[in-house]
Structure 1
């Protein structure tokens, strides 16, 4: 599936990371982006794009360096905390912007997780419960 997906260009990805809607031709890529195994890492990358420049700007403020570093550390910690606390809601909102029903991402991730767990269970039973 990933080989057939059309990835957005860097400027479109930046728009997407800011919360913008991509053109319809990237609809499947958005679904892949928020339902793949690495969806949480991808969410973290989008968060870094939002928090990083703001933190760098705060380093340029006047004042003692230790105070500016504390401000940046606090901002990064709070930014990531809230971003990851609402990660599922955020990706569901992204999907609804691109025409998917609310909860589609959660359902697809749960189905993939169940499939992976079933595979692990089968391998476990085949290896350790052969005599039963």
Structure 2
């Protein structure tokens, strides 16, 4: 683990292990904390879509190179495939990320607890602002 901008960041996998992880493979137990870190930080949605795009791109090149027909047909099929693939990635995002965390050895609900802990101070400050504004009788 190392500290970056006040946050303790766990050991990150190397590029080849991350590629395997992005394609759906599991990581060794020493990266267990990183999986939870990766799934609970602020840009977890973006990272989920990067992993999904990587998986879709593996199918894209063979479609362009091997499927017979005009180029516009292959490109339009590819575009529609990307749209459907990203739509499924959106629909199953929460379950997919939860499954990655559970495969790393965490119990169900650990991901949401980590996200809640990350944003606890922000929520407390927002609740205090709300209480100060609306419970004091000042309608500003």
For normalisation by structure 2, the TM-score amounts to 0.80
Which structure has greater strand proportion?
2
Structure-2 separation of matches of 1:73 and 1:59: 11
Corresponding position: 1:35 with 2:40:
yes
Corresponding position: 1:54 with 2:67:
no
1:81 corresponding residue in structure 2: 87
Q: Structure 2: state its 5+ residue gaps.
A: 1-5
RMSD across aligned C-alpha pairs, in angstroms? Answer: 2.4
Q: How many residues align?
A: 132
Q: Structure 1: state its 5+ residue gaps.
A: none
Change in 2 beyond 3 A, CA 1:21/1:90 = same
After TM superposition, give the deviation of residue 103 of structure 1 in Å: 2.3
Structure-2 separation of matches of 1:47 and 1:119: 35
Corresponding position: 1:13 with 2:9:
no
For normalisation by structure 1, the TM-score amounts to 0.84
